[in-house]
Amino acid sequence: MGEVENFLAKGISALSMERVSQMLLLQVRMELSTVKALFGGNGLERACLTSQGHTWNMLIQFVTILAPQGSPDTDGIDPDSSSDLCIQDCYISNGDDMIAIKSGWDEYGIAYGVPSSNIYIHRVTGQTKLASGFAIGSETSGGVSNIQVRDLKVVNSKTGISIRTNVGRGAYIHNISIENVELVNVGTAISLLGSSGEHPDANYNAEAAPDVGSISIQNVYGNTLDRPGRIEGIPENPFKHICFSDINLQTGSGLLSTWKCSFVEGFSAQVSPQACPQMLNDNQVEASKCFPALIGGSCQTSFS
C-alpha cells in the first residue's frame, strides 16, 4: 500500500498539504475500486479529503467517497486556501457537503490571506441528506474566485448549490460559473446566503463585510421539495451581478414555488419558476458582468 493510501486508510481528516503537493499527482489518481475499499465502512468522523493551505496543481479523479447519510461533519472534498485544482469523475455519498470550497475563518483567515482560486469541478454525482452538493464557504476570509462547476448531479439532498458567507469574513467571492446541474428530490435548488456560519471567537471584525458578485448559474433542472431558491445578501454590501439563465425547476404550490430574495442585484432569463423581482432582466445588468470569463484553462488543459 502506497503512502497516500496509508494516510487514507487511517482516516486522517486533513492530509499534510506539503506532502500532498509531492505525492498527489503520483497516487491520488487511483483506481476506483481501491478508493472504495479505503473509504467504505471505516467509520470516518471528519472530512474524507481536506486540503488546508497552499495546495496547487492537484488532480482528484475517479474517487468514490462513502459515509452514512445521517453522519455530521463528513464532508467529501474541501479545498481550503488552495489553487489550480481539478476534481472530476467522482461519486460522493455522505452526511455533509459533497464538495465545499473554503479559504480561512474570520480574522485568522484574513491574517493568513491565502485565497482559493482556479478550481474546476466536472462530472461529480452524489447525495447528502444534511447539506449541499456543491458549496462555497462559509469560511471565505482569504477570498474565493475563478471557480467553474459543470455537469453536477445531486439527488435526495438538502440543497443543490450553496454559496454562503457572513459579516466578519471579509474578502470576496467573485467569478463563479456553475452550469449543467441536475437535481433530483432536492430540498432547495440554489441558496446564496450572507448571514451563515458561526464565528471562532468574539474577536472578529463586525465591519468586515465580504464582497459577493459575478456569479452565474446556468442550465439547472430537476425538482425541489422545499423552494427553488434563497438569495439573501448583506444589507451593508448587497450581492451584485448574480445571474441566472435556463433554470427549469418543478416545485410544489404556494410559497414552495417562489424564490426568497433580499439585498441582491442581478439578472435572470428563462427561469421557471420566475426569479424574484430584484433579478428580472429589466434591471439591465451588463452581460459581461453576468457571465464572467474565467481565467486560466480547464481540467483538460491544466492537468494533461
Other residues' Cβ atoms within 10 Å of the Cβ of residue 105: 23
Conformation bin of residue 104: beta by default, left when phi > 0, alpha when psi is -120 to 50: left
The angle formed by the CA atoms of residues 148, 175 and 227, to the nearest 5 degrees, is 75
CB 259 within 8 A of CB 229: yes
Closest CA to 60 of 86, 38, 82: 86
Compute the distance between CA of residue 96 and CA of residue 279 in angstroms, rounded to an integer: 30
106 is a catalytic site residue: no
Catalytic residue among 96, 106, 211, 226: 96
Contacts of residue 222, Cβ cutoff 8 Å, sequence gap at least 6? 160, 181, 182, 183, 184, 186, 189, 249, 250
CA distance 153 to 191: 16
- Point out the residues that are catalytic: 96
